[in-house]
Structure 1
Amino acid sequence: AKSRSESDWLVGINTTRALTALNSKGGGFFLTTAGRVQTPTLSILVEREQQIRAFVPKDFWEVHATFGAKAGEYEGKWFDEKLAEQKAAERGAEQRPERLWSKERAEEIVGECRGKTGEAHDEKKPARQLSPLLYDLTSLQREGNSRFGLSARRTLQIAQALYEKHKAITYPRTDSRYLPEDYLEVAKTTLENFSGTEYGEFSKTVLKNGWLKPTKRVFNSAKVSDHFAIIPTMQIPEKLDEIEMKVYAAIVRRFIAVFYPEAIYEVTNRITRVGEHAFRTDGKILKEAGWLAVYGKEAVEEGGGEEGKLLVPVAEGEKVKTVAILAEGLQTKPPARLTEATLLSAMEGAGKLIEDDALREAMGERGLGTPATRAATIETLISEEYVRRLGRELMPTAKAFGLFETLDALGIEILQSPEMTGEWEHKLKEIEHGRMKREDFMREIQKVAREIVEKARAFEDKDHVLRKLDFKDPQSGQEFEETLREYRTLDQRYAVRKVLAGRRIEAHEFLELLEKGTMGLVDGFRSRLGRPFSAGLKLGEGRKIELVVGEEEGTLDFTGQESLGQCPACGGRMFMSQLRYVCENSVAQPSTCTFKVSKKILNRDISVSEVQDLLKNGKTALLEKFISNKTRRPFSAFLMWKDGKVSFDFPPREPRKPKSAKTAKARAGAAA
């Protein structure tokens, strides 16, 4: 543990200082953090975003048919039987059996099958689904994100409160999904404790049917490290808020469900042959709910799957008629961006990305980071503006791509992939087993840190061109190229710095400045004290990019501009300037009014119509997608004119649902 923490700190602090110094050479301060876990985690997001950007959609067609049988109608989809026999890895992700890459071929199949008679054959088989394993922290965070929209950090905070404040669950910062083998009696007592609560009927069912057994799937000491899986304690909590109750309920239901039998389905695979063409219809019917019953009616219905509807019965070899058929044109879709849930899975399973067996085994035990640190890693990437939340999706920023461009230019590969972390973990494991000396390992780490610093110190940006840009300088007609620190013309007579006040100016923003000379409010700048602020941009003397943080009184000319409405403070006319909506009297000489509304509030653009709504009614409609400076989470609010200024007004919260009689009774009993 000491070697791990010291090596992480040594490489992280030296790399961060070296990269920050390099990126700040042109002036200003551009904090560029890097680390053993943080940077390979970011590489997962950057690689996915590169796949999305490089994706080119392709047109394809599917043929859908409706068949009439004696008992009714059912749907079927054409598929290529030969392609269906191949494994997905062999044929490629896009080459699916139901896809046709020629519209003519799809319409040909439609013509050959329209109105024709076919023959249906059913194959039925049972399918079983085991209950999920007990939660460790990472799986609980994934669930919190996918089901409740919680960040990994927020889920950890809630779990920590349930553990420390309410004493309702066991230690949450665990990487085990199993219980010790001597915990059978504790599990029994815990199940009995839920008698009389909303979970009582399910816990009683486990005990009554003798389902509490010492199975290795639940009780396995070999898979318990310092701490075991997250389960409820004997303390039934009181006064939980709504989201705490959701997380607690998820832990309780998972604990009870793990002892239930598997869910059993009947899966029907129907093949309808019309001439030489085959159509597939899949049905999946839940026969025995098993553990799904613990999650209630909604989960049981979801358990039936999308094909959970009952297929109309057909006799073996029954003749059916093609009642309707059509070719549907579609397009392939790019891979989805990662959410916190899918990124946590990628971090946990990062070892699978490594080809070397020994390194993969070393990573397999830990993945990237630990359950207790993964949430903090994600939050760090967001706070350092490498990653931006878009709803539930995580999108790397230009700063993230710039980091990897810098690492590539410097030839620093050690921080760019899970292989480095795998090698690191492998050597730490060797120290743990006495096969490597700690001093030798730390000597290697010091050498790595020195090499990174020396590469950054010796680097010259002038000759390192990242790419040519697809626009020209309006004045000289020269094409532009991009280096790590500059946008410059090919003859190098005109160049501008890419980083201004701690923010990277993107290529499309530079193009807008070249074309218009100015640009409205832009987020992401940082003051010398590190505080975020927004500002406009302009091309100043020598066509250098400059910040516009205020508009000088008396310099604004609203001639020919239509008034947006009446100022609520003084009755003057309201107009739009580059950065804000202003009262004409607030920019007059001398100024007699102070009323102004920024064109961007908490990362959200405020439109003309929204300002007009505010001026006319004193309040806007409910506006979405403001971003909290404190939590970086989106929220909705009204803007309203009150006490001489514009402020937020929030919609009333929905009343909490009343507690069930059973829960209230159980809590009363616990209190007694």
Structure 2
Amino acid sequence: MTKKLIIAEKPSVAADIAKALGGFTKHDDYFESDDYVLSSAIGHLLELACPEEFEVKRGKWSFAHLPVIPPHFALKPIEKTESRLKLLTKLIKRKDVEGLINGCDAGREGELIFNYIAQSTATKKPVQRLWLQSMTPQAIRDGFAHLRAGHEMQGLADAAVCRSESDWLVGINGTRAMTAFNSKTGGFHLTTVGRVQTPTLAIVVERERKIRDFKARSYWEVEANFAARAGEYAGKWFDENFKKDDDEHARADRLWEEKRAEAIRAATSGKPGVVTEEAKPETRLSPLLFDLTSLQREANSRFGFSAKTTLGLAQALYEKHKVLTYPRTDSRCLPEDYLATVKQTMTMLTGEGAGKGSDEVLLARYAPFAHQIIARNWVMPNKRIFNNAKVSDHFAIIPTTQAPKNLNEAEQKLYDFVVKRFLSVFFPAAEYLVTTRITRVEGHPFKTEGKVLVNPGWLAVHGKEGQSGDEGNLVAVDKDEKVKTDAVTVKANETKPPPRYSEATLLSAMEGAGKMVDDEELKAAMAGRGLGTPATRAQIIENLIGEQYMLREGRELIPTAKAFSLMTLLTGLGVNELTQPELTGDWEWKLGRIEKGDFTREEFMREIAEMTRHMVERAKSYEADTIPGDFGVLEAPCPKCGGQIRETYKKFQCGACDYALWKIVAGRQYEPAEIEALLTEGQVGPLTGFRNKMGRSFAAAIKLNADHLPEFDFGQDKADDADAEPVDFSAQTALGKCPKCASGVFDHGTTYVCEKSVGPGKSCDFRSGKIILQQPIEPAQMQKLLAEGKTELLKEFVSNRTRRKFSAYLVLDKGKVGFEFEKKAPAAKKTAAKKKAEPEAAE
């Protein structure tokens, strides 16, 4: 009797298939029935390898051996799973196995895993494709009832191999070329690049450049309190003739001149106001169902989950618990024939027939809403939800008909997130009444907006129906009533730089990479393309962190000096292919066209090979000190010979002798102005942003030693020794009186110190760091602290524990420096909390 061999992607999926089909007997690492032999891979079992005659060992990476573009690729087993490959090879070659069924995950990578296994055995046996988007027993049985012929998947197979080979070519050649370039001056400086990871890094670096180059601008807002017969309300002045222009910081309610703001205040204070208002109904539809990227993005914003964590949880909920559909999807719609399945899922969410051991507490949250959807027949054809045109290989992530049980806390959070999104999409829109009130005082308009939730609609699923009360409502104003302008205040503010990327916002940027280009035609042509795929974006971010191109601090992603150096190198070399997101987005789009048969594998690989040759040739044609860039000449002369010092790609180098300073030290890149100060004054800082070997940030001053070379100075110098020479502060003006002994407080290295706390015979211990939790403390703030007991509000502290930024005042408390936090809004019923001095505030 002949049989077919089913190869799943993972052992757990193989076990699910055996259970769903029935009749199997389990052997060590495979199952067998009358009709099938069933086993699995363990993810990827083989990887691309350069044929031996073209391979060069890592220690001999040099331009002499580049580019590496082999005429064909070899496959080599992944060592840790080689035993599973041997088992599958043995099963494939069994004489009673007449054909194969590819039961790997439905998608490009699943296709690649199976095809590499088949290729490694050189089998000619016919192949069928099992395409599962849900892991419930019924979905598995349905999948076997509708097996696809292997040749139907040729486009997907070609795209999968192109993705694999192009990543290899660009990654291997790019990494070896850039590593060879950076290692010319000695050592081995691994510099990885990738077809997708490097343009992603370019996005993060460009944002950081904007933050560093940002110059804050002052602006003023005018706010007024008005008294009507029914009560008080607030309004903000605005320019009725405002039109948006190229100034990204311009707003209708912002004034760029303080005099004009004060003139409005003077003209309106105490004067009567005339009110006009307009009320309009407004509706807000529920968000669309989740695809993987939107789920990762919102889970990062809501729970702080990394993209990798969210993918892992979603995969477990799909594969282990069977409660979610296939997560590696870029679709936010369902197939048009899925209504019946959705109705079955709704019934499960009511808790009816959920089965023994189901999570009754969890289901109880959903039951009222599921009952409501069923009773009102809200599951009906709707192109916003059920739309074949917007479903590719996979549909949106939704709950399955399987009831949840034994979910851990993180899994439960993500499952709850998906279920509530699923339920809410069938509910009607939320309805608001939006009132816009204009109060004119002496011809100056003040705007007040009120938004009242009239019907919560889908918001009820998220527990927001309570907003239908008075929140956002305005006190009534009678017709022709004149209101009194009680108080008018002018509020000073500053424009803010763009925020750093979080994983949530970076995922959005990767997904919409095509939207980041300026050319309108190209932008339109690239609609829907992005960097990477939903399944790979999480790993790309993790790789960039692992290669120390980025740091994860709290929810922020911060590019390192290594990242800036790589961008300088690639830009200087003119290798724009690796720095411009639109080009890689275009490649991803072409892979999609290959899947559909609209573009050939040969054309794609020809383009990749040409790009690889160009990249290597550019790197060969430069030396480290000839890389073009925005480099200048320092005014300070060389301390060794008096020659002229120029900035180059890697150093600040004297042109007349061998004196040079490295640009990157302890993970931080020096700015030309900092080196200028160091050479002129003999010291600079303290500077922030250095990193120790554990990745922790630290601050330090830099001093030149006797050989004119820079050294870290942490402020613990000989002046602190009992037998040291007295410190002479006579050339300085005291910043204020010591809060402990009333002696003078002076600037001393990396700290502000009491003059009696240094040198021999010290009798006081007051000192405070110039940088506290990454927040520089300027001399003016220390003067204010010593004189008034409190600084201005400082906004750039970074917690050592959570890595999150916070704002606080520095205060003196019993002779020590501590924090005082901002007063919370009145609704929170909290007063300002003053902490006692903390060790980290004084260091």
TM-score between both structures, scaled by the size of structure 1: 0.75
Instruction: For 1:179 and 1:204, locate their aligned partners in 2 and report how far apart those are by CA, in whole Å.
Output: 21
Amino acid of the residue matched to residue 312 of structure 1?
A: V
Instruction: Report the 3-state secondary structure (helix = DSSP H, G, I; strand = E; otherwise coil) of the residue aligned with 1:267.
Output: strand
Amino acid of the residue matched to residue 486 of structure 1?
A: K
1:495 Cα deviation from its structure 2 partner:
1.4
- The residue aligned with 2:620 is 457
Instruction: For 1:347 and 1:450, locate their aligned partners in 2 and report how far apart those are by CA, in whole Å.
Output: 26
1:13 Cα deviation from its structure 2 partner:
1.4
Q: 2:587 aligns with which of 413, 421, 424?
A: 424
Instruction: For 2:270 and 2:344, locate their aligned partners in 1 and report how far apart those are by CA, in whole Å.
Output: 65
1:11-410 matches, within 5 Å, as 11-83=170-242, 86=243, 88=244, 90=245, 92-196=247-351, 197-297=364-464, 301=467, 308-355=471-518, 359-360=522-523, 363-410=526-573
2:660 matches 1:495: yes
**8 Å CA contact 2:641, 2:656 repeated in 1:** no
Higher mean C-alpha displacement, 98-107 vs 443-452 = 443-452
Deviations 1:512-566 (A, max 9, x none): 987469999964669xxxx999999998996667999xxxxxxxx96648xxxxx
**8 Å CA contact 2:531, 2:584 repeated in 1:** yes
1:282 Cα deviation from its structure 2 partner:
0.7
Query: Which has more radius of gyration?
Result: 2
Higher mean C-alpha displacement, 428-437 vs 172-181 = 428-437
Instruction: Report the 3-state secondary structure (helix = DSSP H, G, I; strand = E; otherwise coil) of the residue aligned with 1:402.
Output: helix
Instruction: For 1:54 and 1:505, locate their aligned partners in 2 and report how far apart those are by CA, in whole Å.
Output: 15
1:51 Cα deviation from its structure 2 partner:
1.3
Instruction: For 2:685 and 2:426, locate their aligned partners in 1 and report how far apart those are by CA, in whole Å.
Output: 65
Instruction: Report the 3-state secondary structure (helix = DSSP H, G, I; strand = E; otherwise coil) of the residue aligned with 1:81.
Output: coil
**Distance change >3 Å, CA 441–CA 316, structure 1 → 2:** same
Higher RCO structure, 1 or 2 (CA under 8 Å, sep 6+):
1
Instruction: For 1:279 and 1:417, locate their aligned partners in 2 and report how far apart those are by CA, in whole Å.
Output: 45
Count of matched residue pairs: 554
**8 Å CA contact 1:525, 1:534 repeated in 2:** no
1:157 Cα deviation from its structure 2 partner:
1.0
1:463 Cα deviation from its structure 2 partner:
3.7
**Distance change >3 Å, CA 233–CA 428, structure 1 → 2:** closer
**Distance change >3 Å, CA 255–CA 11, structure 1 → 2:** same
Instruction: For 1:94 and 1:294, locate their aligned partners in 2 and report how far apart those are by CA, in whole Å.
Output: 36
Instruction: Report the 3-state secondary structure (helix = DSSP H, G, I; strand = E; otherwise coil) of the residue aligned with 2:500.
Output: coil
**8 Å CA contact 2:289, 2:398 repeated in 1:** yes
**Distance change >3 Å, CA 70–CA 534, structure 1 → 2:** closer
Amino acid of the residue matched to residue 150 of structure 1?
A: F
Deviations 1:476-501 (A, max 9, x none): 56664321122223545411344679
**8 Å CA contact 2:228, 2:477 repeated in 1:** yes
1:408 Cα deviation from its structure 2 partner:
1.5
Deviations 1:234-284 (A, max 9, x none): 222223222221111101111111100000000000000112111100111
Instruction: Report the 3-state secondary structure (helix = DSSP H, G, I; strand = E; otherwise coil) of the residue aligned with 1:47.
Output: helix
**Distance change >3 Å, CA 232–CA 63, structure 1 → 2:** same
Instruction: For 1:117 and 1:624, locate their aligned partners in 2 and report how far apart those are by CA, in whole Å.
Output: 48
Instruction: For 1:440 and 1:228, locate their aligned partners in 2 and report how far apart those are by CA, in whole Å.
Output: 30
Instruction: Report the 3-state secondary structure (helix = DSSP H, G, I; strand = E; otherwise coil) of the residue aligned with 1:268.
Output: strand
Deviations 1:129-187 (A, max 9, x none): 00011111101101111000111111111111111222221111111111111111111
Instruction: For 1:54 and 1:532, locate their aligned partners in 2 and report how far apart those are by CA, in whole Å.
Output: 25
1:44 Cα deviation from its structure 2 partner:
1.2
**Distance change >3 Å, CA 504–CA 270, structure 1 → 2:** closer
Instruction: For 1:68 and 1:522, locate their aligned partners in 2 and report how far apart those are by CA, in whole Å.
Output: 54
Q: 1:483 aligns with which of 625, 644, 648?
A: 648
**8 Å CA contact 2:634, 2:647 repeated in 1:** no
1:381 Cα deviation from its structure 2 partner:
1.2
Instruction: Report the 3-state secondary structure (helix = DSSP H, G, I; strand = E; otherwise coil) of the residue aligned with 1:364.
Output: coil
Instruction: For 1:108 and 1:539, locate their aligned partners in 2 and report how far apart those are by CA, in whole Å.
Output: 54
Q: Percent identity?
A: 51
Amino acid of the residue matched to residue 612 of structure 2?
A: A
Instruction: For 1:517 and 1:290, locate their aligned partners in 2 and report how far apart those are by CA, in whole Å.
Output: 60
- The residue aligned with 1:599 is none
1:391 Cα deviation from its structure 2 partner:
1.4
**Distance change >3 Å, CA 506–CA 365, structure 1 → 2:** same
Amino acid of the residue matched to residue 59 of structure 1?
A: S
TM-score between both structures, scaled by the size of structure 2: 0.60
1:63 Cα deviation from its structure 2 partner:
0.9
**8 Å CA contact 1:518, 1:539 repeated in 2:** no
**8 Å CA contact 1:500, 1:525 repeated in 2:** no
1:525-536 matches, within 5 Å, as none
Instruction: For 1:280 and 1:36, locate their aligned partners in 2 and report how far apart those are by CA, in whole Å.
Output: 50
**8 Å CA contact 1:190, 1:233 repeated in 2:** yes
**Distance change >3 Å, CA 206–CA 29, structure 1 → 2:** same
1:232 Cα deviation from its structure 2 partner:
1.0
**Distance change >3 Å, CA 425–CA 193, structure 1 → 2:** closer
**Distance change >3 Å, CA 34–CA 101, structure 1 → 2:** same
**8 Å CA contact 2:182, 2:624 repeated in 1:** no
- The residue aligned with 1:413 is 576
Instruction: For 2:606 and 2:598, locate their aligned partners in 1 and report how far apart those are by CA, in whole Å.
Output: 16
1:419 Cα deviation from its structure 2 partner:
2.5
**Distance change >3 Å, CA 155–CA 479, structure 1 → 2:** farther
Amino acid of the residue matched to residue 386 of structure 2?
A: F
1:358 Cα deviation from its structure 2 partner:
6.9
1:443 Cα deviation from its structure 2 partner:
2.4
Higher mean C-alpha displacement, 250-259 vs 437-446 = 437-446
Instruction: For 1:517 and 1:362, locate their aligned partners in 2 and report how far apart those are by CA, in whole Å.
Output: 50
Instruction: For 2:163 and 2:704, locate their aligned partners in 1 and report how far apart those are by CA, in whole Å.
Output: 48
**Distance change >3 Å, CA 532–CA 453, structure 1 → 2:** farther
**Distance change >3 Å, CA 517–CA 71, structure 1 → 2:** closer
**Distance change >3 Å, CA 124–CA 190, structure 1 → 2:** same
**8 Å CA contact 1:487, 1:496 repeated in 2:** yes
**8 Å CA contact 1:63, 1:78 repeated in 2:** yes
1:418 Cα deviation from its structure 2 partner:
1.9
Instruction: Report the 3-state secondary structure (helix = DSSP H, G, I; strand = E; otherwise coil) of the residue aligned with 1:414.
Output: helix
